[in-house]
Amino acid sequence: RTVYVNGHFVPENEAEISVFDRGFLFADAIYEVTAVLNGRMVGFDGHMARLRRSLRELEMGLPTSDQRLREIHLELIDKNALQEGLVYMQVSRGAADRDFAYPAPGTPASLVMFTQEKSIIDSPVAERGLKIASLPDMRWSRRDIKTVQLLYPSMAKMEAKKRGADDAWLVESGLVTEGTSSNAWIVDNDNTLVTRELSRALLHGITRATVMALANSHDMKVEERGFTIKEAQNAREAFVTSSTALVHPVVAIDERPVGDGTPGPFARELRRLYIEASLNSAD
């Protein structure tokens, strides 16, 4: 693979990043993952807007323009002949002597990007659905900022696997916040799509926003509110959204089947609409 590090396109085994990089030492870094379908990026502008928001919230500078970031993405896709998969972009506060205080203004940010091949449209999970385990949400309280502090989500995913599930839904004060790397949805007994309202408690998913817009334009009802695990277990359907899962049905939660225990019609239809819209409007 060819990867991008601080201004250079290099073979992955020649890429270097400082041991003093604050992303490495403090998880003082943010990231975005943009899906690539048919060689084209999906929802790039949304990812860019969220990146700028994360940068602002952390008072982190990045001199590179959106236009240049887009060009680097496109060049990486081209150099790696990527048809389907993702582009990962990470911005850290750069390298400086180890100190909790931020380094002096003017310390250059580190910018890293790489591609990863992944089969997204043909996904076995879309056919069989996900089994979910519920776990307490023990992450920090600014989950709206997309930082690389991903240890707890990793631990939760491993714990879910130990319990025979595929992934975890995280619960705080009795309500589901989101999945370890996805937003959580249910379809209630009134056929209303329900997903938690935006706040600092969860990531403002780009796919969540797109699916919400698709639902609205296809006369599906959407309600933004929190829900409990019990409500999800008793819902008609459940599913998750993320850039690389698109829409994945949830068929069981804590070993209880959701609906009839197979992928439901709303999840299937939204996945189809999402793929159709993405292939027609990809950047």
Q: Rounded to whole angstroms, what are the CA distances from 158 to 31, 179, 238?
A: 22, 13, 21
Q: What is the nearest approach in angstroms of ligand PMP to the Cβ of residue 41?
A: 13
134 binds ligand PMP (CB under 6 A): no
For residues 134 and 243, which CB has a smaller minimum distance to ligand PMP in the complex? 243
Q: Which of 5, 10, 33, 72 binds ligand PMP (CB under 6 A)?
A: 33
Catalytically active residues, by annotation: 146
For residues 94 and 114, which CB has a smaller minimum distance to ligand PMP in the complex? 114
92 binds ligand PMP (CB under 6 A): no
For residues 96 and 275, which CB has a smaller minimum distance to ligand PMP in the complex? 275
Q: What is the rounded CA–CA span in Å between residue 98 and residue 283? A: 39
Contact between 120 and 84 (Cβ < 8 Å) = yes
Counted residue by residue, the chain has a size of 283
**Binding to ligand PMP, residues 195-254 (CB under 6 A):** 203, 205-208, 241-243
157 binds ligand PMP (CB under 6 A): no
Contact between 113 and 88 (Cβ < 8 Å) = yes
For residues 10 and 275, which CB has a smaller minimum distance to ligand PMP in the complex? 275
Q: What is the nearest approach in angstroms of ligand PMP to the Cβ of residue 52?
A: 14
